[in-house]
C-alpha cells in the first residue's frame, strides 16, 4: 500500500514536471526574444513598430486563443491537445530560426503562439485534475507560478549569450529539445482526460475576442507612424470599442460563454485579472525599454546587455520560488503587497534615466523590480481561482493566463509607441533615454495598482463576494460544487 502511495506521488510529481517544462518554453520565449531585437532589427532593417510586432504578434495570439484551447482540451482530450501544442510550438520555433524576412518572422511567431496557447491552460487543467488534496494543489500551483517567473527571468540572459555567440536565430533552438522531450514524457506519464460535461465551443465569442485585441494592438503600434487622428487608427479604436460592447452583450446571454462574465462579480477574480494585466504591462514595457536602452543608447553588445540583467533575473528566480511557497503557506496577500511595492519602486528609480545613468543605479532598479515581478506570478492564479467552484477552475485560470498576455501586449505596444513618437522613428540615439521618462512613471503606477488591488482582492469582503459567486453557479447548474480554498 505504501509503495502504491509513493508511486502515485512520484507520478503526480512527474506530471507536474512535464507541465512546468511546457510552461518554461512558452514563457522563456516571451522574453528571450527581447535581447535579440536590435540584432533582428539591423538584419531586417526594421522600424520600431516592426520590433514591437515581433513581441506582440506572439502575445496577441496567445491571449486570443488561451480560452479556446482550454475548452477544446476539455472536449477532445487534454493530453491530445497538450502534445499537439508542443509539436506546433517546436515546429514554429524551427521556422522562426529560418525566417527570411521580418514579415515571415512575425508570422512564424504567431504559429509558435498557436501551439503555446494549447499548453498553459491545458497544463493547468491537468494539474488541477492530478492534485486532489487542497494543500498539495496549492503548492503545485505555487511551483507552477514560480516556473513562470524563472523562465521570464532567464530569457534575457540566455538570449544575450546566444545572440552574441551564435546569432539571433539560435534563440529559437532552445525550445526544440525541451519540447521534444516533453512530448515523449507526456505520452508516457500523463493520462488522457476529458471533462465530464465539456463546455460548448463559442466561435462568435472567439472571433470578437480576437477582433478587439488585434484592432487595439494594431492601432497602438501603428498610431505614431500613421497619425493618431488618421481615419485608419480612429476606425480601429472604434472597431475595438464596438467589438468589446458586442462581446460583453453576447457573452452575457450564453449559458457556457467563452468569457464567463459572471466571474467578475467575484472580487478576487476581478482583482487577479487586473493584477495580471498591470504586472505584465509593467514587465513587458520594462524589458522592451531596457533592451533598447542598453544596446542602442549605451552601445552594449547583446551579451553584455543580457549579463547586465542578471541582477533582475536572479531576483526574479529567487522570489518566484519563495513566493510560490509563501502562497501555499500564507495565501496571496503578502506576495502581492511585496510585488506592488517592489515593481513600483524599481520603475520609479528609472524615471530620470539618461545615457549616463550609473550602472549601480540600474542594477539596484533591476533587483528591486525583479523582486516584485518574481513575487507576483504565483499569487495571480491562486487569487483567480480562490473561492471559485472546482468545476470552473480551468476557465478561471485561463482568463488569468489571458490577462497576463493582454498586459504584456499592451505594455510593449504603449511604451513602444510613446518612444516612437518622441524619437520620430529613430532608435540609435543617445536621446532615447530622455524619451522614456513618462513610460517609467507609467510602469511605476502599475506597481501601485498591483499593491492596492492586491490588498482589496484578498480581504474578507472580497472572499465573501467569491463565495456568493460560487453559490450562484451552484444554483444555476443545479448541482453542488466544491469551492477551491485560497
The 10s digit of each residue's pLDDT in 235-253 is 999 999 999 999 888 888 8
Q: What does the pLDDT read at residue 303?
A: 83
Contact 112, 29 (CB under 8 A): yes
Q: What does the pLDDT read at residue 479?
A: 45
Residues 66-83 have pLDDT tens digits of: 878 877 887 788 888 889
Average pLDDT over residues 194-213: 81
Q: How many CB atoms lie within 10 A of CB 166?
A: 11
Q: How confident is the model at residue 423 (pLDDT cuts 50, 70, 90)?
A: low
Contact 455, 333 (CB under 8 A): yes
Give which of 429, 400, 172 is closest to 293, Cα–Cα: 429
Grid coordinates belonging to 423: 524619437
Residues 103-152 have pLDDT tens digits of: 999 999 999 999 988 887 788 778 777 777 767 777 777 777 677 767 87
The region of weakest confidence among 136-150, 339-353, 395-409 is 136-150
The region of weakest confidence among 176-180, 191-195, 290-294, 410-414 is 191-195
Grid coordinates belonging to 481: 460544487
Average pLDDT over residues 94-110: 94
CA pair distance 158, 98, nearest whole angstrom:
19
Contact 145, 320 (CB under 8 A): yes
Residue 32 neighbours by CB under 8 Å, 6+ apart: 155, 156, 158, 159, 162, 171, 174
Residue with cell 453557479: 473
Q: Does the pLDDT of residue 388 top 70, yes or no?
A: no
> What values do phi and psi take at 227, rounded to 5?
100, 125
What is the CA angle 140-383-442, rounded to 5?
115
* CATH for the 2-190+198-202+254-477 domain, from 3.90.550.10, 1.20.1250.20, 3.40.50.700, 3.30.479.30: 1.20.1250.20
Contact 233, 425 (CB under 8 A): no
Can you give the residue ranges of every domain in the chain? 2-190+198-202+254-477, 204-253
Residue 299 neighbours by CB under 8 Å, 6+ apart: none
H helices present in 166-266, as ranges: 175-189, 203-226, 231-253
Contact 300, 294 (CB under 8 A): yes
Residue with cell 467578475: 264
CA pair distance 36, 328, nearest whole angstrom:
36
To the nearest 10 degrees (0 to 180), the angle between helices 359-385 and 333-348 is 150
Whole-number Cα distances in Å, 78 to 52, 82, 118, 128, 301: 33, 6, 9, 12, 43
Whole-number Cα distances in Å, 143 to 232, 235, 376, 405: 45, 44, 13, 20
Q: How confident is the model at residue 93 (pLDDT cuts 50, 70, 90)?
A: very high
**Using DSSP, how many helices (H) and how many strands (E) does the chain show?**
18, 0
Report the chain's mean pLDDT, rounded to a whole number.
83
Contact 394, 121 (CB under 8 A): yes
CA pair distance 456, 463, nearest whole angstrom:
10
CA pair distance 457, 470, nearest whole angstrom:
16
- Per DSSP, the residues of 329-387 read HH-SHHHHHHHHHHHHHHHHTTTT--TT--HHHHHHHHHHHHHHHHHHHHHHHHHHHTT
Q: What does the pLDDT read at residue 115?
A: 92
CA pair distance 222, 215, nearest whole angstrom:
11
Q: How confident is the model at residue 96 (pLDDT cuts 50, 70, 90)?
A: very high
What is the distance, to the nearest Å, from the Cα of residue 324 to the centroid of all Cα atoms in its chain?
17
Q: Does the pLDDT of residue 413 top 80, yes or no?
A: yes
CA pair distance 303, 461, nearest whole angstrom:
49
What is the CA angle 108-109-112, rounded to 5?
90
Residue with cell 482550454: 70
Counting every residue, how long is the chain?
Answer: 486
Contact 340, 449 (CB under 8 A): yes
Tell me which range, 182-196, 206-220, 369-383, is most confidently predicted by mean pLDDT: 206-220
Amino acid at each position: 500500500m505504501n509503495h502504491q502511495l509513493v508511486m502515485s506521488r512520484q507520478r503526480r510529481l512527474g506530471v507536474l514536471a512535464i507541465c512546468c517544462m511546457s510552461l518554461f518554453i512558452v514563457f522563456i520565449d516571451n522574453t528571450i526574444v527581447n535581447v535579440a531585437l536590435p540584432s533582428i532589427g539591423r538584419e531586417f532593417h526594421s522600424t520600431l513598430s516592426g520590433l514591437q510586432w515581433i513581441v506582440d504578434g506572439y502575445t496577441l495570439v496567445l491571449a486570443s486563443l488561451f480560452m479556446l484551447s482550454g475548452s477544446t482540451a476539455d472536449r477532445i482530450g487534454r493530453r491530445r491537445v497538450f502534445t499537439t501544442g508542443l509539436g506546433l510550438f517546436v515546429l514554429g520555433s524551427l521556422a522562426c530560426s529560418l525566417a527570411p524576412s521580418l514579415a515571415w518572422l512575425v508570422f512564424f511567431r504567431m504559429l509558435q503562439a498557436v501551439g503555446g496557447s494549447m499548453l498553459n491552460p491545458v497544463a493547468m487543467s491537468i494539474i488541477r485534475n492530478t492534485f486532489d488534496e487542497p494543500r498539495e494543489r496549492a503548492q503545485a500551483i505555487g511551483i507552477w507560478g514560480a516556473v513562470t517567473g524563472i523562465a521570464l527571468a532567464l530569457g534575457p540572459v540566455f538570449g544575450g549569450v546566444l545572440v552574441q555567440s551564435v546569432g539571433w536565430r539560435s534563440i529559437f533552438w532552445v525550445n526544440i529539445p525541451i519540447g521534444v522531450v516533453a512530448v515523449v514524457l507526456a505520452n508516457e506519464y500523463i493520462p488522457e482526460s476529458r471533462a465530464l460535461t465539456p463546455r460548448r465551443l463559442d466561435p462568435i465569442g472567439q472571433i470578437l475576442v480576437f477582433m478587439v485585441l488585434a484592432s487595439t494592438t494594431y492601432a497602438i503600434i501603428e498610431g505614431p507612424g500613421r497619425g493618431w487622428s488618421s481615419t485608419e487608427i480612429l476606425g480601429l479604436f472604434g472597431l475595438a470599442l464596438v467589438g468589446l460592447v458586442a462581446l460583453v452583450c453576447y457573452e452575457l446571454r450564453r449559458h457556457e460563454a467563452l468569457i464567463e462574465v459572471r466571474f467578475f462579480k467575484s472580487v478576487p477574480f476581478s482583482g487577479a485579472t487586473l493584477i495580471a494585466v498591470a504586472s505584465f504591462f509593467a514587465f513587458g514595457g520594462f524589458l522592451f525599454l531596457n533592451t533598447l536602452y542598453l544596446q542602442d543608447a549605451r552601445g552594449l553588445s547583446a551579451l553584455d546587455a543580457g549579463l547586465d540583467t542578471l541582477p533582475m533575473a536572479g531576483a526574479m528566480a529567487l522570489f518566484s520560488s519563495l513566493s510560490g511557497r509563501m502562497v501555499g503557506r500564507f495565501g496571496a496577500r503578502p506576495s502581492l503587497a511585496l510585488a506592488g511595492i517592489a515593481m513600483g519602486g524599481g520603475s520609479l528609480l528609472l524615471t530620470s534615466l539618461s545615457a549616463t545613468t550609473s550602472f549601480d543605479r540600474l542594477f539596484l532598479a533591476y533587483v528591486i523590480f525583479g523582486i516584485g515581478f518574481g513575487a507576483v506570478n504565483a499569487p495571480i492564479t491562486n487569487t483567480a481561482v480562490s473561492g471559485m467552484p472546482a468545476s470552473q477552475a480551468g476557465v478561471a485560470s485561463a482568463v488569468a493566463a489571458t490577462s497576463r498576455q493582454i498586459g504584456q501586449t499592451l505594455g510593449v505596444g504603449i511604451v513602444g509607441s510613446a518612444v516612437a513618437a518622441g524619437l520620430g522613428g529613430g532608435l540609435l540615439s543617445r536621446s532615447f533615454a530622455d524619451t522614456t521618462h513618462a513610460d517609467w512613471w507609467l510602469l511605476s503606477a502599475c506597481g501601485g495598482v498591483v499593491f492596492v488591488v492586491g490588498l482589496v482582492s484578498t480581504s474578507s469582503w472580497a472572499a465573501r463576494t467569491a463565495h456568493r459567486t460560487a453559490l450562484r453557479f451552484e444554483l444555476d447548474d443545479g448541482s453542488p460544487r466544491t469551492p477551491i480554498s485560497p
